[in-house]
Amino acid sequence: MAFRTCFVTITLWVIIKTQMCLSEFNRQSFPKGFVFGTASSAFQYEGAVKEEGRGPSIWDTFSHSGKIQGNSNADVAVDQYHRYQGDTELMKDIGMDAYRFSISWTRIFPNGSGLLNQAGVDHYNKLIDALLAKGIEPYVTLYHWDLPQALEDKYKGWLSPLIIKDFAAYAETCFQKFGDRVKHWITFNEPHTFAMMGYDIGQHAPGRCSILLHSLCRTGNSATEPYIVAHNVLLSHAMVADIYRKKYQKIQGGSVGISLDVIWFESATNSKEDIEATQRALDFTLGWFLDPLIFGDYPNSMKNRVGTRLPKFSKSQAILVKGSLDFVGINHYTTFYAMHNASGLLEVALHDYIADAGVLTVPFNGTEIIGEKANSLWLYIVPQGMRSIMNYIKQKYENPLVIITENGMDDPNDPSISIKDALNDEKRIKYHNDYLSNLLASIKEDGCNVKGYFVWSLLDNWEWQAGYTSRFGLYFIDYKDNLKRYPKKSVEWFKKFLN
């Protein structure tokens, strides 16, 4: 088929170009001021979950529910709460410009609102100062999934519009306490992921769903709750951006964005049905959030297929939401094929957000695999997807400022593999080289407005429902020996690339 021929040709072109450019491809190839960093989240890194006044989050509850691979939890994680000075030195040694980390809401307000926990403020002040002392710019995520359990208990968290006011108060406190030094704010990390995983299929906190025969869920409504959550998230983001712009931006000189997860989708065939399904797949993931933020409303495909279950923006809300960002954070890892779901079985079996899209997304097209598989079931290595998604955003959303806030791949945490062998991560080196080369092509050859790239992640860490079974880090964590950090081969590659 013509599509497959084109796909193979592009793949070969990328491989040949990468091999030709390995020796000359480095930081200097990117525009002046382009930022390189690593990314993390509080719950996956910090540990110290009961120290210095921190309150419980929904992920503390969920990680102790027996639903995590290996029955693990993040009570200790990789202990960055106590080891941030050393980890900051690792970033400086590599040559990174920036560090994207999240603030734990319950370290600032243990109950989500009310009394401030000064010890939590003191900790993040020390972390921010340690980064700046090493010449590393902090990029701060306000919400990376760890909702205060108290707000979940009080009014069901993101399902209630009451969350908007509480999130805004928390965010404004962070602007007041840290905004003199933090110039890059990200309101939410991957709202699509936590709306879908937490409120549709129940595999993330708070574990709500109503899917037929789903043994993990005891409460929820998969047909409505993901959309309610997303709506409240968008309104929360818009209110926080409005507060920052009116009260802090002129004084502090910072910017506000949001990080959205984006799988690139290639149509499985050249049929009209599959091409339309591919667009719907993008609408129901990226468009779900970026359309309102750029255009002021949800994609037409969502409005048509979800109907009255999709919340509506009032006129004033649409005005508040539209344009409420200074940059778009993109978390991109992989690419899938998309095809029209003609059977209707999803609608009958699920009756949820996934079924509403009417799309099957798979890594195989017949017998052809879309790319080499990493460890995670969802992660296939397709470097040209990076260039494709950058061009899509440029063309559909009028070329906004983009920062790649996450990109990376994982190896298995296999106890039969020696540490020496685990440190030889050639696949990771090739992954970053190839994705970066496609990102560079999108900037220099296509004119995409991209200003930064953050690796997920500096360290192996606790990966949500996968627990400790997955290793994304540039540094190997020895979970059996006091969480010692060992540089993988990719550390040396990035040192050469950056320095």
Q: Which residues are catalytic?
A: 190, 406
Say how many Å lie between the first and final Cα of the chain, rounded: 44
Structure tokens at 314: 């009032």
DSSP one-letter string for 72-134:
---SSTT-HHHHHHHHHHHHHHHT-SEEEEE--HHHH-TTSSSS--HHHHHHHHHHHHHHHHT
- Alpha-carbon gap, residue 122 to 203, rounded angstroms: 33
Matching residue, tokens 């320095």: 499
Cα gap 350→341, rounded to integer Å: 13
CA-CA distance, 352 to 340, in Å (whole number)?
Answer: 16
383 neighbors 435 (Cβ within 8 angstroms): yes
Residue-wise burial string across 257-287, b where 16 or more C-beta atoms lie within 10 A, e elsewhere: bbbbbbbbbbbbbeeeebbbbbbbbbbbbbb
Cα gap 429→488, rounded to integer Å: 10
Cis peptide before 457 (omega within 30 of 0): yes
φ/ψ bin of 147: left (φ > 0), alpha (ψ from -120 to 50), beta (otherwise): beta
Give me the torsion for CA of 124, 128, 131, 135, rounded to 10°: 180
Give the single-character DSSP code of 31: P
